Structure 1
Amino acid sequence: MSGVTQEDFEWTPRRRRAATLLTCAWLGYLIPICVSVATEPPGAPMLVFAIVGLAAYVVFFVRLIHVGMQRPFRLAAPYALIGLIAVGVLLMVPIGSTWRYAFPYYLVAILPGQLPPRWWIPSQVTTLVATTVVAVGYGDRGVSLIGYVASVAAVALFTSMFFWLLRTMVLLRMARAEMARLAVSEERLRIARDLHDVLGQRLAAVALLSDLAGRLAGSDPERARQQSAEAGRLAREALEEVRATVSGFRDSSLTGELSTAQALLAAAGIGCVLSAPDAGSVPAPLADVAGWVVREGVTNVVRHSRAGTARITVRSADPVVVEVADDGHGDATSPYGNGLTGLRERVTALGGAVHTERVDGWYRLWAELPVTAPGGRVAAAAGAS
C-alpha cells in the first residue's frame, strides 16, 4: 500500500513544519562544502557554476522534502528528484572530492521518502554501486574504499529502516481504524439480525392473539380477555428483549422458546407435536442457538406455511439436532430470507449446518450443532470462553 498521504500521518501544521525542519537539517552538511569552496576556490567560471549549482541543489532538496511530506512514498515530484541527481553529479566537476564524498549520503537519505517501497532496495543498491564505481575511478582503494562504501551503506540502511518503521506505524494506525469501522458495521448487523429475530416472532404472536381476542370478544369474553393478556405479556417480553439485544446481553432459552412456540402455534390454530424430552441437557451455547432455530422455524410456520400441524423435535446427542417441520406449503428451494440467513450465520459459527427439504408433504427445517467444535474443543467451553 503506497497511497499514504499526510492525513494518514495525522500531522498538525506544527508537526509538519517540525518534521520539515528536521529533515532539512541534512543541508547542514553543505557548510563544510561551502567552506571548502571558499578556502580553495576554483576558477571564476567554475566558482559561479558551483554557487549556482549549490543553490539549485538546495531548491530541489527543499522541494522534495515539501512534496514528500504531503504525498510520501509516491514519487510525487519526479522532475525535482531528477534535477537533484543531475545537479549533484555535475557539482563533482567544480567542487571535486569534497562533494563526491558527500553527495551519496544525501542521495541514500532522501530516496526512501520519495519512492514507493518496492523501489527502495533497487535504488539504494544502484546508488551504492555507482558510488563504488566513482570512488574507484577517483583512485580509492583498500581500506579507505571499503570504509567509505560501508558508511554510505549504513546510512542507506538506517534511513530505509526509519522510513519503513514510519510507514508501518501509519499502516497499523489505518488498519486499527478499519478494524474499528468493521467492528461497528458487524455490531450493526448483529443488532439488525437480533431485532429481526426478536420482533418477528413476538409481533406475529401479538398480532395473532389480538385478532383472536377481537373475534372472541362477543362470543367468549373471558377467553378474549385471556388472549389479550397473553398478547400484552408477549409485547412486554419483546420490549425487554429489544432492550437486552441493543445492550448485547440477550440469550435465547431453548426451553423458553419451546414453551413460547407451543403457545404461538396454538393461538394460530396449528397443532403442535413436541418431542424434546431432554432439551434441558443441551449445553448452554448450543441451547442458545437451538432456541433460535425453534424461534425462526415456528415464526415461518405461522407466517408463511398455512399448515395444519407442526412438529418440533430436539435430540441432544452429538450432534444436537433441532428440527421444525410442518405440513404446509413451504418451498425448500426458495432463497433464504433475513431470518434464515441470520440463523445460518449463528449455526455455522459453532461449526454446524442448517438444512431444509420438502419430503412426503412435510417441509423440514433442521440444524445440526456439534457438541465437539472443530479443533477438538467442546462447544460448551468454546462458547463460554
Structure 2
Amino acid sequence: MAAEAEDLPPRVARWMMWAALALLILVRLVSGVSEGVPWTHLLITAAPYPAIVVILARPHHGARARFGLLAAVAVLYALPFLLVGTEWSWLPWPLAVAVLCLLPGRAAWPLFGLIVLAAGAGVWLSGDGPLRALQPATATATDGLILFSLYALSDTISRLHATREGLARLAAARERSRLGGELRETVGRRLRVIADRLEQGDVRDAVEIARRTLADIRATAGEYRTAESEKARPVESPRLPALVLLAVLVIQSVKVLASGMHNYGDPLLLILGVPLVSAMITLQMAQLRRPTRAKLALIALTIVPVALPASYLAPSLCTFMSLWGFCTGAVLAGVRPPRSWALALLLFAGYCSLFFYPPPVPSVPGILADTVSHVILAWLVYSLTRLAGLVVLLKRAQHDLARAAAAAERVRIARDLHDVLGFTLSAVALRGELAMQEPERAETEQASLATLVRQALAEFRSITGGRVRLRPRDEIAAARQMLETAGIRADITVDEGPLPDALAAVVRESVTNVLRHSTARFCAITVTVSGDAVRLRVVNDGVATPGRLDGGSGLAGLAERAGGRLSAGHLPDGRFEVVAEFRSDPACLGGDADGVDPVPRAQLGDG
C-alpha cells in the first residue's frame, strides 16, 4: 500500500475531498426524497452548498473572509425555515463543516459539538423519540468530520509538497552556517595569521603555517566528503485521520446498535454486536496505523458474516450491513488494483442483496440512500488511509531532501576549500620558499603574497557564505604566474569565446597538482572552444609516481567539476595529461557557480 500512496499525486487529495462533498450532497438529496420532502424544498435547503464549495476551494482565507463565509452559511441555512417552515430534513451539516474549516480549533470544536447536539435536540423537541433524534445528530457529526478531515489533509499535503524544497534550502543554509563557524575558528584564523606574518617579514613562519593549513584543509575536505548524513528520523502518521476514523466508527456503531434494538428489540444484537463492533473498531485503527493482510481479513470476518449469511437465520443481524462500508474501504486501501476493485464489487453485491431479504424491502429512494451511505463510508476509510500514507511519504521526502541538501553542502564546501584555498596556500609555500632562497626577491614576494592571502580570506568568506565564483581567464593568468614563479615554462593557448565557470576550478587544481606531484619543467595549457563545447588540456613533463590516481581528492574534485567528463593519465612519452570537457556558459545565463552540476563518473584522485 505504501507504494500505491507514493504513486498518488498530491492534487488527487483535493479530488478526494470534492468526491466526498458530491456524495454527501447526493445522499442528503436522496434521503430527502425517501422521506417525502418536495423537490422545491430540497432545492431551497441546498442554498448553503455554494458557500461550502467556496470554503473548501481555498484552504486559507483572511479573517474577514472567514467570518463572512461563516455568516453566509448560517444565513443560507436558516433560509428554508423562513420559506418552507419545518417541512424539510433539518440537518445542519453545512454549518458544522463551515465551523470546523473556518475557525481555530479551540473555538471550532465546542461549536461543532453544540451544532451536533442541536441537530438531535431539535428533532427530539419536535415530538419524535430519542432514536429519531439520534439520526440527524450522528449524520451531522459524520458529514462534518468527513469533509473537515479531507479538507485538512489535502491542505497539509499541498503545503508539504510546496515547501519540501524550502526545507532542503534551510537545511543547506544551516549546514553552511555550522561548518562556516567551525572553519572560521580554524582556517580563517590561520589565514589571517599567515597574512600578518608576511606583512611582518616572517616568511619562514608564514610558509610553515601555510603548509600545515594546507594539510589540514585537505584532511578536513576529505572528512566532509565522507561524513555520514544525519540518520533519518522516524515519521509518524498524522493524528487527524486516526481521530476522525475512530470518531466515525464509534458514531456509526452506536447508531447501528441503537437502530437495531429499536427495530427488532433482539438482545442478541447487544450480546453479539458490542464485542464485534469493538473488535472491528480496534482492527480498523490498527490497519490505519500499519496495514497488513491479516488485519484486513479479520476486519472482513468481524463484519461480513454477521449480516450475510447469518441474517438469513436471525433477520435482526442484517442491521450490521450498515457497517460494511468500513470493510469495503479497508479492502480498497489495503489491496492493490484490480483485485481491490473485484473484492469491493463482490462486497457491494452482497450488500445490495440484503435489501431484498430479509424483508421489508425498502423503497427505491431508500435503497439509493443506503447505497450512497455505504459508498461514503468506504470512501472515507479509503481516503483517510491513502492520504495519511501520503502525508507520511511527503514528510519523509522532505527530511530526505533536507539530509541530501546538507550532505551536498558539505561536499560543496569541501570541494571549494580544496580547490580555492589549496591553490593559494600552495602558492604561499612555493613562492615563500623561493623568496627565502633569493633575498633580493623577498620584499616583493612578501607584499605580493600578503595581498594573495588577503584575497584568499575574501574567497574563504564566499565559500562559507554561499558559493565562491572563480573567473576562468583570471585563473589562467594566475596559473601562468604560478608556473613561471616555480621555474616551469608555461605554454598557454586559449580560444576566444565564453568559458564555463567550472573550468576555472579545474585549471586551478590541475596547476596545483603539477606543482605538488611532479618535477615538471614544462606545462602546456590549451583551451579549445568549439560551438557550445569547451575542452581543457593540461600536459606536463614531470610525471608523478605512476599508480597514484585513485586515493586522493584532487582529481576526484576535477571529475566533479567537469561533470564526470574528465580523463587523466600517463602519455607514452612519459608526460602526464589531464583532459576535461565542458559546455560553454554565456555570462547572460548565470546559473550554478560551478558551471555544471557535479555528477562524477570516475573516482580519480591526486594522492
Decide whether aligned partners of structure 1 residues 156 and 253 sit closer, same or farther in structure 2, where only a CA change above 3 A counts.
same
Amino acid at match of 1:275: T
Q: Distance in 2 between matches of 1:194 and 1:274?
A: 24
- Whether contact under 8 Å (2:326, 2:378) holds in the other structure is no
1:94 counterpart = 2:308:
no
2:575 maps to a residue whose letter is W
| Cross-structure match for 2:116 | none
Mean Cα deviation higher: 23-32 or 196-205? 23-32
Output the aligned Cα RMSD: 3.7
Q: 1:163 to 1:122 in 2, by over 3 A?
A: farther
CA contact (8 A) 1:57 1:88 kept: no
Counterpart pick for 1:304 among 517, 529, 540: 517
The CA deviation at 1:239 is: 2.2
Structure 1 partner of 2:259: 32
User: What's 1:291 paired with?
Assistant: 504
Pairing of 1:115-126 with structure 2 (within 5 A)? 115=334, 120-126=340-346
Structure 1 Cα separation of the partners of residues 453 and 521 of structure 2:
26
Q: Is the 8 A contact 1:56 1:87 kept in 2?
A: no
Q: 1:125 Cα shift? A: 3.0
Partner of 2:568: 356
User: Contact (CA 8 Å) 1:20, 1:66: kept in 2 or not?
Assistant: yes
- Unaligned residue ranges in structure 2 (runs of 5+): 6-232, 593-607
Offset of residue 98 of structure 1: 4.3
Q: Name the structure 1 match of 2:271.
A: 52
Q: Secondary structure at the match of 1:272?
A: strand
Counterpart position of 1:375:
none
Matched to 1:2, the amino acid is A
* Equivalent residue number for residue 243 of structure 1: 461
Residue 8 and residue 76 in structure 1: after superposition, are their counterparts in 2 closer, same or farther (change >3 A)? farther
How far 1:155 sits from its partner (Å)? 4.3
Residue number in structure 2 paired with 1:44: none
C-alpha distance in 2 between matches for 1:175 and 1:32: 46
Deviation, 1:253, is 1.2
Q: What is the identity, as a one-letter code, of the residue corresponding to 2:434?
A: L
- 2:429 pairs, out of 203, 207, 214, with 207
> CA separation of 1:51/1:151 partners in 2, compared to 1, >3 Å: closer, same or farther?
closer
Shift of 1:65: 4.1
Question: What SS class does the counterpart of residue 554 from structure 2 fall into?
Answer: helix
Instruction: Quote the Cα distance in structure 1 between the aligned partners of 2:458 and 2:387.
Output: 50
Higher deviation after alignment, 183-192 or 135-144: 135-144
The whole-number CA distance in structure 1 between the counterparts of 2:385 and 2:515 is: 63
Q: 1:320 matched to which residue of 2?
A: 534
1:96 CA drift (Å): 3.2
**Could you say which residue in structure 1 is the equivalent of 2:2?**
2
- 2: CA distance, partners of 1:256 / 1:154: 69
SS in structure 2 at match of 1:324: strand
Give the CA deviation at 1:252. Answer: 0.7
CA deviations over 1:190-212 (Å, ceiling 9, x no partner) = 11111111122222222222323
* C-alpha distance after superposition, 1:5-59 (max 9, x if no partner): 99433439xx965663344322243221222232xx3xxxxx3x43221111122
Alignment partner, residue 221 of structure 1: 439
Question: Counterparts of 1:137 and 1:265 in 2: how far apart (Å)?
Answer: 97
1:333 and 1:282 map into 2 onto residues whose CA distance is 35
Query: 3-state SS of the aligned residue for 2:563?
Result: helix
Q: CA deviation at 1:81?
A: 2.4
How far apart, in 2, do the equivalents of 1:204 and 1:266 lie? 14
- TM-score by length of structure 1 reads 0.76
Query: Is the 1:311–1:324 Cα contact (8 Å) retained in structure 2?
Result: yes
Q: Which residue of 2 aligns with 1:190?
A: 412
**Range 196-205 or range 2-11, more displaced:** 2-11
Aligned positions of 1:37-116 closer than 5 A? 37-38=264-265, 41=266, 47=267, 49-68=268-287, 71-75=289-293, 77=295, 81=299, 83-85=301-303, 86-87=305-306, 89=308, 92=311, 93-96=313-316, 98-99=318-319, 101-111=321-331, 115=334
Question: Cα 1:201–1:88, aligned 2, differ >3 Å: closer, same or farther?
Answer: farther
Q: Tell me which amino acid in the other structure corresponds to 1:355.
A: S
Corresponding residue SS for 1:310: strand
Q: Partner amino acid for 2:426?
A: A
Counterpart code for 2:515? V
State the alpha-carbon separation in 2 of the partners of residues 145 and 169 from structure 1: 37
Q: What aligned pairs does 1:328-367 form with structure 2 within 5 A after superposition?
A: 328-330=542-544, 331=546, 334-335=549-550, 337-348=552-563, 353-357=565-569, 358-367=571-580
Q: Which letter maps to 1:56? A: P
Residue 180 of structure 1 is matched in structure 2 by 402
Residues 352-385 of structure 1: CA distance to partner in whole angstroms, max 9, x if unpaired?
x3233424332221222233xxxxxx76555449
CA contact (8 A) 1:272 1:309 kept: yes
Deviation by residue 1:270-296 (Cα, 9 ceiling, x = unmatched): 2222223x5xx542xx34112112111
Change (3 A) 1:100 1:379: same
Q: Normalising by structure 2, report the TM-score.
A: 0.51
The structure-2 alpha-carbon separation of the partners of 1:267 and 1:26, relative to structure 1 and needing over 3 Å to count, comes to farther
Q: 1:125 to 1:382 in 2, by over 3 A?
A: farther
Alignment-mate amino acid for residue 289 of structure 1: A
1:127 and 2:355 aligned: no
Q: CA deviation at 1:336?
A: 7.3
Aligned residues: 355
CA distance in 1, matches of 2:399, 2:405: 10
> Residue 35 and residue 87 in structure 1: after superposition, are their counterparts in 2 closer, same or farther (change >3 A)?
same
Q: Compared with structure 1, are the counterparts of its residues 150 and 65 closer, same or farther at alpha carbon in structure 2 (3 Å cutoff)?
A: closer
What is the rounded CA distance, in whole Å, between the counterparts of 2:235 and 2:400 in structure 1?
15
Which runs of 5 or more structure 1 residues have no equivalent in the other structure? 42-46, 372-377
2:350 match: secondary structure: helix
Q: Which amino acid aligns with 1:176?
A: Q
Structure 1 position 185, deviation (Å): 1.7
Per the alignment, in what secondary structure is the counterpart of residue 316 of structure 1? strand
